[in-house]
Amino acid sequence: MTSGLSRRYIEIAKPGGYEALVCHEGPVPRAHKNEVVIACEAVGVNYADGIIRMGLYASAKALHGYPIIPGFEVAGRVIEVGEAAQDRWSVGDHVIGLSLFGGYTSHLALPADGVFKKPEHLSFAEAAALPTVFLTAWWMIHRQVHPRPKEQWLIHSAAGGVGSALCQIGRLAGAQIIGVVGAAHKIDHARAMGANEVICRTDQDLWSRARECSPDGYDAVFDANGVDTLAQSYAHLAPTGRVVVYGFASMLPKNGRLNWLKLAWDWCRTPRFSPLKMTQHNKSVLAANLSFLQSHAPSLREGMHWVLAHFESGELTPLPVETFPLADAPKAHQRIESGQSVGKLILIP
């Protein structure tokens, strides 16, 4: 039961820098009819959380507004079950929870459909690290790219959360993967995740090396950089190739503060793709943002069950995690925006 407990959470009253992440205390939520309450042992941190903090995340503004509690994923123990969910969950169950915001908290009430059994061999931190990145990767690969064995893929940010998941799921699909990383200390991790070759942008010329690795072009390129690489990602597609866009990291600051002049300039420089030329070249541009896919909730649940089944079988492996106390959410944001982290960052309430 939740009586007598206190809840800690991180709230953003209005967009800003790292100081906008403020820790509060309040009552623990109660479970409504078809809900469970989770005592969160671990909370996933995603790059999108920083974009929410800056006030640039479209779904945060369109679907929620400010003040807002960021966070899309938690892992923990069920402490209360609503009447209609008692045939599915019991107090004490170890679970993973998917939320549309609200995750930076010690206690979270979620609809039963957003809760999944935690694989026993995963720690709470490893479990909280998997939903957003692996579900995003699954969606792009199996709902957008529709892979065929031996395709040539280029994966930017291959040592990050989504990049690591793309490498693993791509390897299972039989793709030949060229991973791109931004620092030498990330090379071994990208290889461990499934990259056949790794290009380090700080030591090699990215695009000449990319041509050497796949002279005929790429069947798929996964790009979360935006303006810095998007035009060349498209240019290096093979006929029938697809660029999948899922972020714009190169447009955003590494110090937590927006530079509106740079942002405007980068927006002007962002490639616009001509449908006429795309039909002539037989190339496609796809894009993904799971927070705007609530109308596809059954498909997302299917994806989560696929991901969890492959974790249970050992075909997918947990990402390395770096942990921070919940109150140190500003430090976690600073770390993920530095571009130096590997795998996933986790908050411990």
From CA 85, how far away is CA 130, in angstroms rounded?
A: 24
Same domain, yes or no, for 136 and 271? yes
Kindly state whether residues 53 and 88 are assigned to the same domain: yes
User: Are residue 152 and residue 55 in the same domain, yes or no?
Assistant: no
Q: Which pLDDT score, from 0 to 100, does residue 1 have?
A: 57
* Same domain? 48 vs 124: yes
Q: What is the mean pLDDT of residues 257-282?
A: 92
The predicted pLDDT at position 3 comes to 59
Extract the tokens encoding 189: 């991790």
Q: pLDDT, tens digit, for every residue of 302-348?
A: 999 999 999 999 999 999 999 999 999 999 999 999 989 999 999 99
Sign of the dihedral through C-alpha 223, 225, 227, 232: negative
295 — pLDDT class (breaks 50, 70, 90) = confident
CATH number at residue 122: 3.90.180.10
In-domain check, residue 301: no
pTM of the model: 0.94
Tell whether 104 and 147 lie within a shared domain.
Answer: no
Dmax over CA atoms of the chain, in Å, equals 66
| pLDDT cut 70: percent of the chain above it | 99
Residues 232 and 165 in one domain: yes
CATH of the domain at 167: 3.40.50.720
pLDDT tens for 201-237 read 999 999 999 999 999 999 999 999 999 999 999 999 9
Determine the structural domain holding residue 110 and report its residue range.
6-130+318-348
Q: Is 18 domain-assigned?
A: yes
Pair 20, 157 in one domain:
no
Residue 294's pLDDT is what? 81
Average pLDDT value for residue range 24-53 = 96
* 154 and 269 together in one domain: yes
Are 246 and 140 spatial neighbours (Cβ–Cβ below 8 Å)?
yes
**Based on the structure, what is the number of domains in the chain?**
2
What the block records as the tokens of 132 is 């957003």
Same domain, 122 and 190: no
Q: What is the pLDDT of residue 278?
A: 93
Q: Minimal CA–CA distance to 97: which of 78, 121, 69?
A: 78
pLDDT tens for each residue of 139-185: 999 999 999 999 999 999 999 999 999 999 999 999 999 999 999 99
Asked if residue 307 is part of any domain, the answer here is no
Is residue 255's pLDDT more than 90?
no
pLDDT tops 90 at residue 4 = no
Alpha helix stretches (DSSP H) within the chain: 47-54, 58-63, 124-128, 131-138, 161-172, 187-193, 206-213, 230-235, 260-269, 275-281, 297-312, 329-337
Residue 63 is assigned to a structural domain of this protein = yes
Give the integer Cα–Cα distance in Å for 118 and 321. Answer: 17
Task: Name the 3-class secondary structure at 249.
Answer: helix
Residue in 242, 239, 226 with CA at minimum distance from that of residue 153: 242
CA distance 339 to 334: 9
Mean pLDDT of 24-37: 96
Residues 271 and 137 in one domain: yes
At 39, list the tokens: 């005592």
pLDDT for res 257: 84
Q: Residue 212: what pLDDT? A: 97
Whether residue 298 lies inside any domain: the answer is no
In a domain, 29, yes or no: yes
* C-alpha span between 35 and 84 (Å, rounded): 8
Predicted pLDDT at 196 = 98
Does residue 146 sit in the same domain as residue 233? yes
pLDDT at 305: 97
User: ∠ CA(275), CA(280), CA(281), 5° rounding?
Assistant: 95
Spatial contact of 2 and 37, defined as CB atoms under 8 Å apart: yes
Mean pLDDT of the chain: 95
Q: Do the domain assignments include residue 1? A: no
Q: What is the pLDDT of residues 178-189, one digit of tens each?
A: 999 999 999 999
Size (the chain), residues: 349
Instruction: Please report whether residue 304 resides in a domain.
Output: no
Rounded-to-integer distance, Cα 57 and Cα 54, Å = 8
Confidence at residue 213, expressed as pLDDT on a 0 to 100 scale: 97
Task: Let me know whether 98 and 160 are in one domain.
Answer: no
